[in-house]
Structure 1
Amino acid sequence: MGSIHAYTTSQGERYRVAYRKPDHSQGSKRGFTTKREARLFLASVDVAQARGEFVDPAAARTTIAELGPAWLARRRHLKASYYRSLESAWRVHVEPTWGEFPVGRIQFTDVQAWVSKLAASHSSTTVSRNYGVLAGILDDAVTDRRLPRNPARGASLPRRTKKRRVYLTHTQVQILADSAGDKRTLVYTLAYTGLRWGEATGLPVRDVDPLRRRLTVNENAVNVGGRIIVGTPKSHEVRSVPFPAFLASLLAGESAGKQPEQLVFGDGERHLRSPDSRDGWFVNAIARAKLTDKDFPTLTIHDLRHTAASLAISAGANVKAVQRMLGHASAAMTLDTYADLFDDDLDAVATALNQVKMSTVVVELLSQRPAKALQIR
């Protein structure tokens, strides 16, 4: 319940609505030009409180700049590299544009116009991340009853285009490894185990089992703002990864003279950093291997992980084995990522169905012959 009071201004008579908030504090809103408008507002307040949907107009004046830091702070538990991308999106794109806006003033059309403007000059991944930060902050505003709904939800985002993957053959991997100098074993390891760069460069000697030919992936070393952060693998789960026999002696050579806790690759103490994409050892190895033709326009370190999946599948590995090797969350994720590599399996399904069909027809024909012969006699 509440009350309506008239007051006089230089523009004429106006009305103020006084009401009790759910916490029993006093609330009010003024500036209504007619008593009918004031009554309708008071009725909407009563209905919203009865439904538990009341939003305090004063709370809607809180700005994005006030809510953003708290939203980020609650994501400190995320992987350091991912958290940094969120912090960068907030600092570079979201806060400069939306910081001074009260959450109650943000409209869907404003958000959509911002997304469209970003899409004209930034990648779909960057746009989606920036939008996600703003939408997440507004989700908090809804939860805190500062807004009745999130005005950002439902915006049209640019479609993500998949980068063309590169799969090297056994011969191409060998040529590339031989061209990589002292990184030869590292190239082989990436191309035949599917380890991520941070998993390989963070691999300690103790996690190499030459007898079982297994690598135990416990850690992932990620470069975050120029600093190497060591944490759990991307999936947060330890996994055991097989490696082919020829790698055993190469890994033993990298581990020679090192303590169990030291790193396999590099000097044992410092994590190797990603090679420079313009003039690093990997780019130079590609040039020496002559893998720069039209088939390999954008070969990257990560493509060696894709190559490992390709080589494993071509060797007969099923999707579950590939999932475990790569550390994917599910076999469905592996299928979604490498669906193009399972085309031969589809051909095999068609062939198998055809064989079953033909054999069934033959059996049926043979089973009918005696009966037909009896009828003729």
Structure 2
Amino acid sequence: MATIEGYETKAGRRYMVRYRKPDRTTTKKRGFKTKRDANLFLASVEVDKATGAFIDPALANKTIAELGPSWLERKQGLKPSAYRPLEIAWRVHVEPVWGKFPISKIVFTDVQAWVTNLSIGDEKAKPAKKPKSATTVIRAYGVLAAILDDAVKDRRLQANPARGVDLPRKSKKEHVFLSHEQVRDLADNSKYPALIRVLAYCGLRWGEVTGLRVQDVDMIRRRLNVNQNAVDVGGKIKVGTPKSHERRSVPFPEFLAPAIGEACKGKHLEDLVFPNEDGSYLRAISGGSGRGSWFLKAVQRAGVPRVTPHDLRHTAASFAVSAGANVKAVQRMLGHSSASMTLDVYAELFDDDLDGVAIALNNVVSQMDVPKTCPNKA
């Protein structure tokens, strides 16, 4: 049974509420300045117990530092390339700021201020804090919000105070598309010309092409079977399934057959098609800055626009579309999860299709006996 008791403090008389939780254990809350406030709190507790909305104050006192590690541990089932950014966001941006906060003390305005400060930086801080990219801010916010989402599901909080925050917008990076001549020049100036051409004409991701084994190449059907992905995560190569865990078969044009065949010549089925000189997985960049990169040197020698290996994937998409491939074919070649994703990424490549609609409509209407202008109404 609940009771309200008064007690004396240096600041004056205060009231304490003793009540039972749904599990029948007794707890208390102190510090009410008036008996009316104590009665209102007790009434709200009884309503929450009756409606199933009761939150145990002891559970709500858990800090972000206590809940974060277990949330992060549950994410270890992700691919290493997906897990590592989350771990960095937690370690660098979330835990240092929010670690000591009990989840019950986190409020919406504080979360919004944190997101804003990450976005704009703080030159007055010592050392000065530079603005973070939209991707970094959104990822850090996502980690904090996800931890609080779990707290809501565990009945530690009634609602997530982080939801509804205004986030920075990601600016869409313009794609760089090379011409056939530029791909030729890049390949001719490269240490690995066959690899450059495969990237530019087949659209494989870097980890997919460097993970290709001889047994993945079908010279008769001219197909590259993408069965694994070799990704550099924190300086270490992690080999796993392709992105989204979906294997696919990518056709290669006949003119690439001699170079691919030469790359496979004399190798065992398990050997890599495009290995490093020592037979290990090839890297595009040597060192964190990219200085000394064989790929960067090839770009500079060829005099082509500044591109990355991933940009050659965009070039492959542009070649496919200009050759008449529809969006579904491009989606399958690139390994996108849906055709709508392909359209979102490469909408500009399909502008000619819009022109084709207008031309087709014009051809139909021109064969009909209809007025070409709208008459003026009296």
Shorter-normalised TM range: over 0.9
Q: Which residue of 1 aligns with 2:123?
A: none
Match of 2:265 among 256, 259, 267: 256
Report deviation, 1:354.
1.3
1:94 Cα offset (Å): 0.6
Matched residues in 1 for 2:244 and 2:202: separation?
16
Q: How many Å separate the matches in 1 of 2:133 and 2:167?
A: 11
Deviations 1:143-165 (A, max 9, x none): 11221111111111111001111
1:5 match: secondary structure: strand
SS in 2 for 1:264: coil
SS at match of 2:243: coil
Over the matched positions of the two proteins, sequence identity in percent amounts to 62
Deviation at 1:271, TM superposition (A): 0.6
CA distance in structure 2 between the partners assigned to 1:274 and 1:284 by the alignment? 11
1:197 and 2:206 correspond: yes
Are 2:292 and 1:290 equivalent residues in the alignment? Answer: no
AA of the residue aligned to 1:287: Q
Distance 1:85 1:192 in 2: 30
How many residues are paired up?
Answer: 358
- Equivalent position amino acid for 1:138 in 2: L
TM-score normalised by the chain length of structure 1: 0.92
User: Structure 1: how far apart are the matches of 2:224 and 2:37?
Assistant: 72
- The residue correspondences of 1:153-164 to structure 2 (distance < 5 A) are 153-164=163-174
**Distance in 2, Cα, partners of 1:275 & 1:90:** 27
Unaligned runs of 5+ in 2: 121-130, 372-378
User: For 1:135-154, what aligned pairs fall within 5 Å after superposition?
Assistant: 135-154=145-164
2:280 equivalent in structure 1? 270
C-alpha contact 1:14 1:31 (8 A) present in aligned 2 = yes
Please show how residues 164-313 of structure 1 align to structure 2 within 5 Å: 164-181=174-191, 183-266=192-275, 267=277, 269-276=279-286, 277-291=290-304, 296=305, 298-313=306-321
Q: Distance in 2 between matches of 1:237 and 1:145?
A: 36
Equivalent in the alignment of 1:28: 28
| Residue 64 (structure 2) pairs with residue 64 (structure 1) | yes
* Matched residue SS, 1:251: helix
3-state SS of the aligned residue for 2:244? coil
Report SS of the residue matched to 2:368.
Answer: helix
| CA deviation after TM superposition for structure 1 residue 131, in Å | 0.5
In 2, Cα distance between the equivalents of 1:30 and 1:215? 70
- Alpha-carbon deviation of 1:203? 0.4
Q: Note the C-alpha offset of 1:263.
A: 0.5
Say if 1:65 and 1:95, in contact at 8 Å, map to a contact too: yes
CA offsets, 1:218-249, max 9 Å, x none? 10001111111001111211101010001111
* Deviations 1:145-196 (CA, angstroms, capped at 9, x unpaired): 2211111111111110011110011111111111103x10000000011000
Partner of 1:354: 362
Residue deviations 1:10-67 (CA, integer Å, cap 9, x gap): 3332211111112221121111111110111011111112221111222221110000
What's the CA shift for 1:268?
7.9
Alpha-carbon distance between aligned partners in 2 of 1:68 and 1:25, rounded to the nearest angstrom: 28
User: 1:198·1:222 contact (CA, 8 Å) conserved in 2?
Assistant: yes
Equivalent-residue separation in structure 2 for 1:105 and 1:98 (angstroms): 10
- Other-structure match for 1:80: 80
* Residue range with higher mean Cα deviation, 303-312 or 139-148: 139-148
Question: Which residue does the alignment assign to 1:331?
Answer: 339
Distance 1:11 1:346 in 2: 75
Work out whether residues 228 and 240 of structure 2, in 8 Å CA contact, stay in contact via their aligned partners in 1: yes
Aligned to 2:329: 321
Q: Normalising by the residue count of structure 2, what TM-score does the alignment of the two structures yield?
A: 0.92
Which residues of structure 1 form unaligned runs of 5+?
A: 365-377
Contact preservation (8 Å) 2:284, 2:294: no
Q: Which has the larger radius of gyration?
A: 1
Letter in 2 for 1:318: N
1:122 equivalenced with 2:135 (yes/no): no
